[in-house]
Amino acid sequence: MRLYSTNLKAEEVSFETALITGLAPDKGLYMPKQLPMFSKEELTSMKGEPYPEIAFRLLRKILAGEVDEASLRAITYDAYNYEVPLERVDGSTYIMRLDRGPTSSFKDFAARMMARLMQYYLKKENRKLRILTATSGDTGSAVADAFYGLDNIDVIVLFPRTEVSDRQRKQMTTLGKNISALSIEGKFDDCQAMVKQAFADEDLKHMNLSSANSINIGRLVPQSIYYFYAYLKLKNYPEEIVFSIPSGNFGNMMGCVLAKNMGLPVKKIVASVNENDEVPIFLDTGSYSKIEPSKNCLSNAMNVGHPSNLARLISMYGGQMDEKGYIHKAPDMEKLKQDIYSIPVTDVDTKATIKEFYEEHNILIEPHGAVGIKGLMEYRKATKDSTLAVTLETADPAKFPAEVRSVIGVEPEPPQHLKDIESRPEHMEHLSTDYGQFKAYLQKKLG
């Protein structure tokens, strides 16, 4: 696999280089130059296989030659040791629960794979790596958990102090060992900007910094797998399927775009967002402006006013957008709109959907999943499309106890691993959004 930068000013690199460096030197995002196609026969042959086996067989072809087969098999089976349930709502609607991993967020799918792939390469070369990651809540905990205790890797997580739930914060601050947590007096976008500035800082080049955000291609590729899995559970090639994806930084949705480009018959990708509606407006009008500062919504992991992965999406459709959000070359908007439908969902509708699903279907969802469901309902209303659809639940409702309780009156029961962290001591440092202060912290900590 060869990868190019979406800014088109950096050299092509191998998968290993893209994985370890994260961001390209021209501040662009790495994208595979080519993707393999999976034929009807190949896909059909995987029907009925468990998740880790499907992940192994797909990745064996996607990452052909990058990781030896025995190691790749071991990695997928080790990473995906939990359930991926498809919950039936009605004859044409399913919820795929991506919330059964160790941190109860869909981000486990990407983080666990990326951590193990990095470890694979670092071990081979006896190298050390420092991961800097900005999180709007779930990334940090998933990344911290995925890397926890690994020998060759230190992790520093930046999170916006007031935008993460208590439980999300504790998942980052109670680990210790090679995991450090920084509470930032700002928003997710500030955290992301600080991390990006550190990567671009010549003074810090010697530190071997790497990112584990959704900008890392090592996270994106594993996020294409569950779309195949859902399809193989529910459909027979060449029947089509619709996915509704609650989106913030659009990494999850890009996984679906990759899957579609590898032969999965996806009829429509519904990218459901909260009140940060810059992408639906872009699809409607063709002109893009970020939302600064991003709006605070209930689905806090989606409070993103300028999604990094938009540059990748635009690149897939023949355009070019730089890291500041400036479009140098317009993508094929017609094709983009044919494949993707993006819709904003208000907090009021998010709550109403949680209530409706609990009362009418006896299904408990949390704010992010509710945005996905509501987006799908709106899509169906607008288009009359009744194709079988899978909407994603991206977190366990117990990660948002207050939000869920305020709507349905009961607090969701947390899984055991979330209960365990309640009583552990927290460790974190507090910083402002001042880059100089952050830089000084890194220099003191990492030398």
Residues contacting residue 153 through CB under 8 Å, at least 6 positions apart: 115, 118, 119, 122, 128, 129, 130, 131, 147, 178
Q: Give the residues across from 130 on adjacent strands.
A: 154, 209
Q: Are 289 and 277 in contact (CB under 8 A)?
A: no
- By CB under 6 A, tell whether 214 contacts ligand PLP: yes
Q: Give the closest residue to 96 by CA, choosing from 213, 257, 222, 228.
A: 228
Minimum distance from residue 295 beta carbon to ligand PLP (Å): 15
Minimum distance from residue 208 beta carbon to ligand PLP (Å): 26
**Separation CA 270–CA 379 (nearest Å):** 7
- By CB under 6 A, tell whether 368 contacts ligand PLP: yes
- By CB under 6 A, tell whether 391 contacts ligand PLP: no
Half-sphere exposure of 95 (CA within 13 A, CB side): 24
Nearer to ligand PLP, 21 or 252 (CB): 252
Nearer to ligand PLP, 10 or 404 (CB): 404
Residues that contact ligand PLP, how many (by CB under 6 A): 17
- By CB under 6 A, tell whether 138 contacts ligand PLP: yes
CB atoms closer than 10 angstroms to residue 91: 8
| Options 395, 398, 418, 421; binder of ligand PLP; rule CB under 6 A | 395
- By CB under 6 A, tell whether 280 contacts ligand PLP: no
Residue ranges in 234-263 that form contacts with ligand PLP under rule CB under 6 A: 246-253
Residues contacting residue 313 through CB under 8 Å, at least 6 positions apart: 250, 253, 254, 257, 331, 336, 340
> Is omega for the bond preceding 32 within 30 degrees of 0, making it cis?
no
Nearer to ligand PLP, 251 or 331 (CB): 251
Helix, strand, coil percent values for the chain (each to nearest 5): 45, 15, 35
Half-sphere exposure of 86 (CA within 13 A, CB side): 21
- By CB under 6 A, tell whether 364 contacts ligand PLP: no
Residue nearest to ligand PLP (CB): 138
x/- binding map, residues 15-44, to ligand PLP, per CB under 6 A?
------------------------------
| Options 301, 363, 365, 421; binder of ligand PLP; rule CB under 6 A | 301
x/- binding map, residues 308-347, to ligand PLP, per CB under 6 A?
----------------------------------------
DSSP H or E run through 345: none
Nearer to ligand PLP, 99 or 356 (CB): 99
Minimum distance from residue 417 beta carbon to ligand PLP (Å): 16
The sign of the torsion formed by the CA atoms of 149, 151, 152, 154 equals: positive
Nearer to ligand PLP, 21 or 168 (CB): 168
Sheet holding 13-14, edge to edge: 13-14, 2-5, 30-32
Q: Are 12 and 3 in contact (CB under 8 A)?
A: yes
**Separation CA 180–CA 173 (nearest Å):** 7
- By CB under 6 A, tell whether 210 contacts ligand PLP: no
| Options 134, 302, 340, 377; binder of ligand PLP; rule CB under 6 A | 302
Residue ranges in 60-119 that form contacts with ligand PLP under rule CB under 6 A: 105, 107
Minimum distance from residue 246 beta carbon to ligand PLP (Å): 5
Binding site for ligand PLP (CB under 6 A): 105, 107, 138, 214, 246-253, 301-302, 368, 394-395
